Chains A and B, each alone.
Chain A
Amino acid sequence: MSAVIPYAREDAGAPPSLVADYRSTVPRSPREPLVRIPATLTETTGPTGCWDRLMGPAMADLTTQHRAPPLGQRIIVTGRVLDERGLPVPDTVMEIWQANAAGRYVHVKDQWDAPLDPNFTGAGRVVTDGEGRYRFVTVRPGAYPWGNHRNAWRPAHIHLSLLGPAFATRLVTQLYFPDDPLIEIDPIANAVPMPYRQRLVSRFDMSVTEPNRALGYRFDVVLKGREQTPFEEDAHDH
């Protein structure tokens, strides 16, 4: 049987669990230290090649899910999923969800006074290609208020969810937009120390932009990598 090669631990850019300025972390973050466990097959494996069966077909274009196009600035968000050595992560599922152009979620618990758009849900899902690439078409989400403190506004963001190859590589994060003045005062973005917070800021990229159609943003997601290269001891399996 092949040896289990563990994944790297989190790097210097990782946020803590407790950030007092983000009030919900106060009663919800663990107080005991995390327990280091030996890496086993449980942590180094993850579901392979069964996304359609679990969740249905890909939904890469969030602007064509309803009768008419949604209101708002049409954008393309694209990039690659990589490991921390820069190697692509192919065939991994990436899910997104977001508010509409006015900053309102279709969720019933989102009750602030911004309009819903009957032509926008804001959920998408794709599987990366052989080079780890993904691409979504959506609208740019609006900023929205939240109850964390007086006059609190979340910067515009898209929620991202990635499994990667293993239980150990699971990641949920948020993509922000360049030059948004709310980022530097947002308690959730500020959970990530500088300069690593800038890893969450997408790049406006003219080469992604499509003439007469959509602005383009580039964002790579970097997952944990293996601590060392696997040996070729399993060559007979192939």
Chain B
Amino acid sequence: MTIDVADRIPAERLDNQHSDIFGQTPSQTVGPFFHYGLPWKGGADLVGRSDMGARAELFGEEHYVLNLSAPTGTPLGKVIEVAGRVIDGNGDPVPDAMIELWQANAAGRYRSADDRREAVPVDPHFVGFGRASTDNGGVWRFRTIRPGRVPGPDGAWQAPHLALSVFGRGLIKRLATRLYFADGEGNDTDPVLAAVPVARRGTLIAEARVGGWWLDIVLQGPGETVFFDL
């Protein structure tokens, strides 16, 4: 039997489409050159219209194809600024990292199909997702709303927190962590903080400074930030 020449196809290989190895796609690093692809202008400003978050100086203007965030109204709640450095195991700042933020609104509701608590209002002017590149000094910075409290397991309430992901050259997998506030209501009973050894809880708690909240993210070594096994 012959196969018509136009119907020939290459032999099958053990690859992405092969059912024998179907499963979670493995993680790979973002590498050093993600700036024109991921952090859009305004990505780190969840309340205003500034271009915080992007580093447009790292590529030509003609290659800026990501949008500015569309204008929105003013979200409800207290506007805060949160910032910090990313520091490596040598104590050096990491200038080519990106932090991604996910958080609830001021009422403690996530803008997600999987947060079905209709009694807690969605804020039409607030999404709660953002991205910030680190600068040459390793500093990331967001302008956002202080989140409300969100329920945890078994009827417990979580303290106000931001969920953060850290990406960068040398990070094969994103690192997941949280930022809590030093004056946060319920820090002492938060079920996630309770899962962290006491001596390391401080690595998740931002301190109040002039101009906003500050939390260094230490990738390795003394004071290493707690990262989560999700």
Q: Is B210 an interface residue (CB 8 A)?
A: no
Judged by a CB distance under 8 angstroms, whether B13 is at the interface is yes
Total interface residues on A, CB under 8 Å, equals: 110
B42 nearest in chain A by CB position: A54
Pair B36/A106 contact, Cβ less than 8 Å:
yes
CA gap between A65 and B152 in the complex, in Å: 45
From A10, A12, A30, A39, residue with most partner B Cβ within 10 Å: A30
Stretch at the interface among B17-25, B77-85, B181-189: B17-25
B111-A47 in contact (CB<8A) = yes
For A198, give its contact among B14, B111, B151 (CB under 8 Å): B14
A41-B90 Cα distance, complex, nearest whole Å:
35
Among A1-9, A68-76, A130-138, the stretch in contact with B: A1-9
Q: A13-B24, A28-B168, A198-B16 are in contact. Are A34 and B228 (CB under 8 A)?
A: yes
B209 at the interface (CB under 8 A from A): no
Asked if B99 is an interface residue, CB under 8 A from chain A, the answer is no
The interface residues of chain A lying within 8 Å CB-to-CB of B4 are none
Q: Tell me the bound Cα distance from A222 to B13 in angstroms.
A: 19
Known: A7-B230, A17-B172. A35 touches B117 (CB 8 A): no
Complex partner residue of B173 from A14, A41, A110, CB under 8 angstroms:
A14
* A152 CB to nearest B CB, Å: 13
Q: Mark A20-58, 1 if CB is under 8 A from B, else 0.
A: 001111111111111111111111111111101111110
- A191 lies within 8 A of chain B by Cβ: yes
Cross-chain contact B127 with A121 (CB below 8 angstroms): no
> DSSP majority for the A interface?
loop
Q: Within the complex, what minimum Cβ distance (angstroms) separates A109 from chain B?
A: 6
* B23 & A222 in contact (Cβ 8 Å cutoff): yes
* B173 in contact with A30 (CB, 8 Å): no
Query: Does A181 have its Cβ within 8 Å of any Cβ on chain B?
Result: no
Q: Quick one: closest B residue to A218, CB to CB?
A: B17
Q: Check A184 for interface membership: any CB of B closer than 8 A.
A: no
Closest to B96 in A: A109
Which residue from B36, B178, B228 sits with its C-beta under 8 Å from A122?
B36
Which B residues are in CB contact (< 8 Å) with A198? 13-16, 18, 21
Q: In the complex, what residues of B have CB within 8 A of residue A8's CB?
A: 24
Residue of A26, A28, A39, A45 most packed against chain B (CB within 10 A): A28
Cβ-defined partner of B34 (8 Å) among A10, A28, A159, A223: A159
A29 contacts B38, C-beta separation under 8 Å: no
Contact assessment for A45 and B115 in the assembled complex, using a CB-CB cutoff below 8 Å: yes
A54 CB contact (under 8 Å) in B20, B40, B118, B230: B40
Q: Which residues of A contact B111 (CB under 8 A)?
A: 47-48, 50
Listed by A's residue number, 7 A-B pairs whose Cβ atoms lie within 8 Å are: A28-B94, A161-B38, A174-B28, A197-B26, A199-B16, A199-B25, A200-B28
| A contact set with B: CB distance below 8 Å | 1-2, 4, 7-17, 19, 22-50, 52-57, 59, 65-66, 79, 84, 86, 95-97, 99, 105-110, 118, 121-123, 125, 159, 161, 165-168, 170-175, 178-179, 188-189, 191-192, 195-206, 218-224, 234, 237
B interface with A by C-beta (< 8 Å): 9-10, 13-18, 20-38, 40, 43, 57-60, 62-63, 65-70, 72, 88-90, 92, 94, 96, 100, 102, 104, 110-118, 127-129, 150-153, 158, 161, 163, 165, 167-176, 178, 191-192, 195-197, 200, 219-221, 224-230
Closest 9 A/B residue pairs (Cβ): A56-B67, A97-B37, A24-B170, A45-B112, A28-B170, A34-B229, A174-B28, A107-B33, A27-B89
